[in-house]
Amino acid sequence: GQQVMQIPQYQHVQEGEDFTTYCNSSTTLSNIQWYKQRPGGHPVFLIQLVKSGEVKKQKRLTFQFGEAKKNSSLHITATQTTDVGTYFCAGTYNQAGTALIFGKGTTLSVSS
Amino acid sequence: DTEVTQTPKHLVMGMTNKKSLKCEQHMGHRAMYWYKQKAKKPPELMFVYSYEKLSINESVPSRFSPECPNSSLLNLHLHALQPEDSALYLCASSQVLSFGGRTDTQYFGPGTRLTVL
């Protein structure tokens, strides 16, 4: 079946360092969404990318969608302890009514 | 208001019990979802309702029975569960299931943490 691969599974950084998580699909995605889940919490929508090569920024977070719409990344500049959590990408393929397929997530820990 | 509410927050049940999880949204969304999430894993889709009709059933065992009484409510009826069914059960909603081949943004509730003894 269709899968969205996400790496790394875990990442530990010192506060102030940058962080990047990557998602990859073997087939073209229709769109990709990113969610953040804090420890003990529920997934919270961050952003949706639709267009080939799209780049969107939210303060220290930069989201990219690849030109071939098969990969995406989330980059956090100068991490803070509030960035701790698991970041999931979730993609959709070009089929009407297809629901999201989640990557396995990257769990970020930050030490001060 | 982008809130999806779920009750109860925690549920402990025996394998012979019957219980129900409830989900509610008042955003006018017409697609609602049930996910199951085990620790350190991504959410796994169970069911999708679109305009109150079951649209997707991801081969979920019959001991889980969804119900969508109206456009704001989604229930998940549980019967004869197994200990391996213990997990966080998440409800989500979106305006529609998809448009133009794109899945709509999903808003998740806080979840019900289920323990089956």
Q: Residue B88: its chain A contacts at CB < 8 A?
A: 42
**pLDDT tens-digit series, residues B19-68:** 999 999 999 999 999 999 999 899 999 999 999 999 888 889 999 999 99
Per-residue HEC secondary structure of A14-73 comes to ECCCCEEEEEEECCCCCEEEEEEECCCCCCEEEEEECCCCCEEEECCEEEEECCCCCEEE
pLDDT band, residue B103 (cuts 50/70/90): confident
Tell the residue number behind the tokens 């509030």, with chain if given.
A82
Give the whole-angstrom CA distance, residue A50 versus residue B102: 8
Instruction: Please answer yes or no on whether A97 and B55 come within 8 Å at the CB atom.
Output: yes
Q: Which comes out higher in pLDDT, residue B117 or A98? A: B117
For chain B, what percent of residues have pLDDT higher than 70? 96
Q: Best residue in B95, B102, B107 to probe A by mutation, most A CBs within 10 Å?
A: B102
Stretches where chain A sits below pLDDT 50 are: none
With a pLDDT cut of 90, the percent of chain B lying above it is: 80
pLDDT for residue A3:
86
Query: Which residues in chain A touch residue B45, judged by CB atoms under 8 angstroms apart?
Result: 99-100
Predicted pLDDT of residue B18: 95
So what's the pLDDT on residue B58? 86
Q: Is the dihedral of CA A73, B87, A96, B59 positive or negative?
A: positive
Q: Predicted confidence band at B104 (pLDDT cuts at 50, 70, 90)? A: confident
How far apart, in Å, are the Cα atoms of A21 and each of A5, A40, A73, A75, B60?
11, 21, 6, 7, 31
> Quick check: B76 and B13 in contact, CB under 8 A?
no
Band (B98; pLDDT cuts 50, 70, 90): confident
What confidence score (pLDDT) does residue B101 get? 64
Closest CB from A30, A43, A96 relative to B108: A43
